[in-house]
Chain A
Amino acid sequence: MLKKFLDSFFFYSFIRDPVAVGSFLILAILFITGFGAPVVAPHNPYDTTTIDIMDSELPPFWISGSDERFLLGTDSQGRDMLSTMLYGMRVSILIGLGAVALQALLGITIGLIAGYKGGRFEAFLMRIADVQLSFSTYMVAIFFGALFQAAFGMGLYEDFAIPMLIAIIGFAEWPQYARTVRASVLGEKKKEYVEAARVIGLPSTRIMWREILPNTLTPVLVISTVQVANAIMSEAALSFIGLGMPITRPSLGSLINVGFDYIFSGSWWITLFPGIVLVILILSINLLGDWLRDFLNPKLYKG
């Protein structure tokens, strides 16, 4: 199995593309440290008993006045920046992946059914998608976030912030998937293997999910990478305007947000470090996605 993978053309062209390998390695490090944060991180930013307000706004190690316990300094509440960022990155990635999973689930199901059934049903579903797309993600998020905060109060909001953000970003962006899947289903369903499957007597749900869907996954894979990056950015943007993760469980975006208040008082690191991590995270996902798109598109091969 492993040998087959190492022999494959996929692996061959991957290993020959330094940008792809580089971004994959960076991404792997970010994912491992992010999800391994409880083990890797030197402090636990969620544990209020270990936080001392006297440690607040300490600079990173190369600036005088730094504390050797805090490699990249501390934020305004005395939390270790490095640990907080690792925990925050975990939240960001979790929301990104979760939102994309929800988008994909909704979008693929709707796109597949719409494309296969056709007719008025298809027109109806795709118009819903168009309507959904005409609301911007942020508008939907601001609306529902504000509504949730008003209805259930801040305490409950903090507990349910992650699933709520996943739901909001997932619902806002599913039409991307629905459109992509529908377009390829329309192309696939005219092919003879679908006709053959019907002649064999397979039920239509089986034809949709087992025969057509695997043939439409290539573009889905490509937009998924872009969508993960987009979802992480959406979350960061929402957190930045105060509608995302609460500061007690910060994501990268909310860290940038709180640090922003201190940037003119000299504590630039609270904003800059999470910002850099966010940029690297998004960039490496996008670069990897670009490589995947080029690999899967034979038209782009150089002759």
Chain B
Amino acid sequence: MDPLLDVKNLTVNFALRRASLSAVNDVSFSLKKGERMGLVGESGAGKSVTGFSLINLISKPGYIDSGSIVFEGRELIGLPDEEMRHIRGNRITMIFQDPMMTLNPVLTIGTQMVETLKAHGRFSTSKAEATAIDKLRQVQISSPEKRLKQYPHEFSGGMRQRIVIAIALLTDPAMIIADEPTTALDVTIQAEIMDLLIRLCDSSRMGLILITHDLGVVSEVTESIAVMYAGKIVESGPTQSVIHRPSHPYTMGLVRAIPGSIPPGNPLYQIPGMMPTLTNIPAGCSFHPRCKYAGNICTIEIPKLTTVTNQQGVAACHMISGRLPETEMGLLALHRRQKISSGEIMA
């Protein structure tokens, strides 16, 4: 079956005065119809830029340098603005972090929903309103007829995010990009919103790209996962296998930093150091200054994505490709044995 979305070797650059920097570097992934994928990484890893590049809305001075984005069999890169506008918001929609900010404060939500529909086709106002009411009901807003006439400030945070989702659903898109949709909400509402998203995706076979730094959410919601670091995908594969048996040291660090992964009372793990800024990405593997397994080769050669044995995923690390010499691997094996005996990871 053809994938819904197929991203190949996507590179997004930001043109600065002196040089151009790659915020997204040679990223490839694909999404099947109805599949839910998580895009994970620290702040600045390039997750959101990847998301925005899918709908060709990177703000200047960013631009897509190379690669291909095939969506429903069509190449999106280089598509004329007008055609792109009809895909954006129609076939692909996006949900943002802060529902307080994404609704226009001076328009009623009914107006905003009707406007959206009218922008994507010949809708009469009454028909558009009926669609809007229907979608509001789907996201469990009570008495939607009355709610249409209300302004965003009359809703609570969780309701607003549900309205934002309803707006995203208006045109029955094939794919939703959710950029940290629950970060601004409290935990109970988070779960509610995530349940809603899963249900909606399942019922209409909608693809979902969930951009987040919360591995807990990703493991509950998504089927596949891509971990980004400094603009590159360092590991990807089925969510459960990646989270339970991470291959890349960075993913291991992320997994160990989940609060539930450590016995109560012990301090949480932190990956030492900070992500490099785009202006000074280290040579070789960009993670090597923070990696305790790093050997000589890691400072010289950029690791390629390689299939991980005994799991379906890929990871970009010299340990997996076998380029890290055995002598140095010994240290790694030691670490691994210690962790297994202390019950931190499964064998």
SS class of chain A's interface: helix, strand, loop or mixed?
helix
Interface string of A190-207 (1 = CB under 8 A from B): 011101111111110010
Q: Bound complex: CA of A193 vs CA of B164, how far in Å?
A: 11
In the complex, A214 has a CB within 8 A of chain B: yes
Q: Output the nearest chain B residue to A197 by Cβ-Cβ distance.
A: B104
Q: What total of chain A residues lie within 8 Å of the partner, measured CB to CB?
A: 17
* Residues in B whose Cβ lies below 8 Å from that of A215: 104-106
- The reply to whether B107 and A196 contact each other, CB–CB distance below 8 Å, is no
Stretch at the interface among B113-121, B205-213, B265-273, B298-306: B113-121
Interchain nearest-CB distance for B171 vs A (Å):
8
Asked if A299 is at the interface of the complex by the 8 Å CB criterion, the answer is no
Among A192, A193, A198, A200, residue most surrounded by chain B Cβ atoms (within 10 Å): A200
Q: Are A193 and B102 in contact (CB under 8 A)?
A: yes
**A214 close to B88 (CB less than 8 A):** no
Does chain B have a CB within 8 A of A210?
A: yes
Interface residue? A290 (CB, 8 A): no
B94 neighbours in A (Cβ, 8 Å): 196, 199
A244 to chain B, nearest CB (A): 39
Once bound together, how far apart are the Cα atoms of A233 and B103, in whole Å? 41
Cβ contact within 8 Å between B104 and A199:
no
Contact B55–A203 (Cβ < 8 Å): no
Distance from B291 Cβ to chain A, minimum over Cβ atoms (Å) = 35
**Chain B residue total in the interface (Cβ 8 A):** 25
Does A67 make an interface contact (CB < 8 A)?
no
CB under 8 Å from chain B, chain A span 86-133:
none
A263 CA / B95 CA spacing, docked (Å): 72
CA–CA, A195 to B119, complex, Å? 15
Cα distance, A40 to B67, chains bound together (Å): 76
Q: How far is the CA of A199 from the CA of B168 in the complex (A)?
A: 9
Is the pair A193, B167 in contact by a Cβ cutoff of 8 Å?
A: no
Q: B residues within 8 A CB of A55?
A: none
A211 on interface, CB distance cutoff 8 Å: yes
Q: Which residues of A contact B104 (CB under 8 A)?
A: 193, 197, 211, 214-215
Which B residues, 80 to 94, have Cβ-Cβ distances below 8 Å to chain A? 85-90, 93-94
Binary interface encoding of chain B residues 134-175 relative to chain A, with 1 for a CB under 8 A from any of its CBs, else 0: 000000000000000000000000000000100100000000
B196 contacts the other chain (CB 8 A): no
* A201 contacts B86, C-beta separation under 8 Å: yes
Which chain A positions have C-beta within 8 A of B88?
198-201
Cβ of B200 < 8 Å from any Cβ of A? no
For residues 21 through 74 of chain A, which have their beta carbon under 8 Å from a beta carbon of chain B? Answer: none
A202-255 with Cβ < 8 A to chain B: 202-203, 206, 210-211, 214-215
User: Would you call A199 and B98 a contact (CB within 8 A)?
Assistant: no
On whether the beta carbons of A193 and B105 are closer than 8 Å, the reply is: yes
Q: 1/0 contact trace for B188-226 toward A, CB 8 Å?
A: 000000000000000000000000000000000000000
B96 touches A (CB below 8 Å):
yes
Instruction: Give A202 to B82 CA distance when docked, in angstroms.
Output: 10
B77 neighbours in A (Cβ, 8 Å): none
The answer to whether A206 and B86 touch (CB under 8 A), given A193-B101, A199-B55, A199-B94, is no
Asked if B115 and A198 make an inter-chain contact with CB atoms under 8 angstroms apart, the answer reads no
Partner-A contacts on B (CB < 8 A): 55, 57, 85-90, 93-94, 96, 98, 101-107, 115-116, 119-120, 164, 167
Further pairs besides A193-B101, A200-B88, A210-B107: 5, Cβ < 8 Å:
A191-B101, A192-B102, A199-B57, A203-B85, A215-B105
A-B contact pairs, 7 of them (CB 8 A): A192-B96, A192-B101, A195-B57, A196-B102, A200-B88, A203-B85, A211-B104
Q: Interface on A for B, CB 8 Å cutoff?
A: 191-193, 195-203, 206, 210-211, 214-215
The 3 closest A-B pairs by CB, nearest first: A201-B89, A192-B101, A200-B89
